[in-house]
Amino acid sequence: MVQGWGVLDWGRGAISPRSSQALAVDVFGTIAMSPNRGAVLDALATELGLPADGPWQVDLEWCDRENALGESQSTPMDVVLRSPRLLLSVECKFAELDGGVCKQTKRGKHLPAQCSGRYAEQVNPRNGLQARCALSAKGMRYWDWVPRIFKVNPETDHQPCPFAGPWYQWMRLMTITAAVAEREARQPAFAVVYVDATRLPMARKDWTAFRAILRDDAMPFHTLSFQRVLVLAAAAAPHDPVWPELTAWVEGKIARR
């Protein structure tokens, strides 16, 4: 189900029983291969209040080959679901503590950090480029899209940068989603799918502050559990034995975690 899997940098964690990448392939790969894919994804879209009008295309570990935001290396999306009207990007989490942080604020071996963690005019000590954002100075266009999605003004300073911490990953994926959806003339939406287990951080995460920074007219943002996805799939295709089998497989992974 993962096109070009041999060239992806899966990392050693991908073979772990607690790998979120593998869990995404387990669940959404099975949905993609199911003869009931349309019914299942219609049910998922309805659950999220999104247009439920297939046919549906499912892409796993998808990268924007046109690189709409000028990234130095295109960011892979765990799952991209497309219908004629909708582009829904899905980021899957299992045992992670939170979203990924911006590496520009990290020091290298014997090298200074490239960003102070503030969104304010500064010079990158490694390359001499000046900008409010070290990534913008390198030609990456996240901040071109930030004001379309977030209540953040790119023309003023922010101390600290709102995306210096774990919000960075959500911002990056949402801006890419918005750019690709505009290019494809589809409605953008974004969802985080997590494992609902009280011992896992993502199940306990409070999204209140992040939701508050989103524009009211921006793309829909949703969170739901893998378990809920499986319940929706089983209800949409109740006579298909794959859903109880997949549910047992997923529950086994959670138990081993």
Give the residue numbers spanning the domain of 28.
5-100+166-256
70 and 142 housed in the same domain:
no
What does pTM read for this prediction? 0.94
Domain co-membership, 63 together with 170? yes
- Check whether residue 227 and residue 151 sit in a common domain: no
In degrees and rounded to multiples of 5, residue 192 shows phi and psi of -105, 125
- In this structure, the answer to whether residues 144 and 156 fall within a common structural domain is yes
Task: Indicate if 217 and 171 belong to the same structural domain.
Answer: yes
Same domain, 245 and 182: yes
Looking at the structure, tell me whether residues 77 and 170 fall in a common domain: yes
- The single residue listed with the structure tokens 């890419």 is 176
DSSP string computed for 12-66: GGGGSTT-HHHHHIIIIIHHHHSTTHHHHHHHHHHHTT-------EEEEEE--TT
- Please report, in tens digits, the pLDDT of each residue of the chain (257 residues total): 777 767 666 666 666 778 999 999 999 999 999 999 999 999 999 999 999 999 999 999 999 999 999 999 888 899 999 999 999 999 999 999 999 999 999 998 899 999 999 999 999 999 999 999 999 999 999 999 999 999 999 999 999 999 999 999 999 999 999 999 999 999 999 999 999 999 999 999 999 999 999 999 999 999 999 999 999 999 999 999 999 999 999 999 999 88
> What's the structural domain count of the chain?
2
Of 52, 76, 21, the C-alpha closest to 193 is 21
> Which of 139, 165, 191 is the last residue in one of the domains?
165
8-state DSSP, 192? E
In CATH, what number is assigned to the domain containing residue 231? 3.40.1350
Asked if the bond preceding 55 is cis, omega within 30° of 0, the reply is yes
